[in-house]
Amino acid sequence: MVYEAVLLFGIYFSACFLFDVLTQNFNAASIRNWRQLFLFVVVGIYFTYFWGRTGQTLPMQTWRIKLVSANQQAITFKQACLRYCCAWMWFLPSLAFIYLFGIQHWPSIIIIFVGMIAWACTVKLDKNGQFLHDKIAGTQLISLPKEARISDTE
């Protein structure tokens, strides 16, 4: 997730810049929700494109993890979109709690962290150790074997 977040920072920064240029950003407070929606869509395009094309984002390639459907086939666009939306459950319950109770600063970070741990525990609900958002979307993460290296003596 950390590697993915580093790459997403560049996408996020570029998308914010593009949004500011397109909207001329005269009154940032009045278009804050539009910016958030735009970023949600841009990040969604990033994930659904790579998951649908190869089943892997760049960090997933590095860690040899691939996203496939439950029957080990390539996922559909619908599955990719559903998985992306459901994966926000890593954060949404915590963010809703923070918003409803007006929590700020360090306690909000702790609540988000606890929410992420709680969502990560959903792997215990599946016999194959898959996350709940994968179960809902009908997808699964698989580990790819290391590529065999050709020895120098051959």
Q: Which runs of consecutive H residues, i.e. helices, occur in 24-87?
A: 32-53, 58-62, 77-87
Joined together, the tokens standing for residue 41 give 């869509």
In the chain, domain spans:
2-143
Q: How confident is the model at residue 152 (pLDDT cuts 50, 70, 90)?
A: very low
Q: Exposed/middle/buried for 79, CB within 10 Å: 0-12, 13-18, 19+?
A: buried
Q: Pick the range with the lowest mean pLDDT from 11-25, 38-52, 63-77, 96-110.
A: 11-25
Question: Is the dihedral angle over the CA atoms 134, 139, 140, 146 positive or is it negative?
Answer: negative
Instruction: Express each pLDDT in 35-54 by its tens digit.
Output: 999 999 999 999 999 999 99
pTM assigned to the model: 0.86
Joined together, the tokens standing for residue 45 give 């395009």
Q: How confident is the model at residue 63 (pLDDT cuts 50, 70, 90)?
A: very high
State mean pLDDT over 16-23: 91
C-alpha–C-alpha distance, residues 152 and 32, integer Å: 57
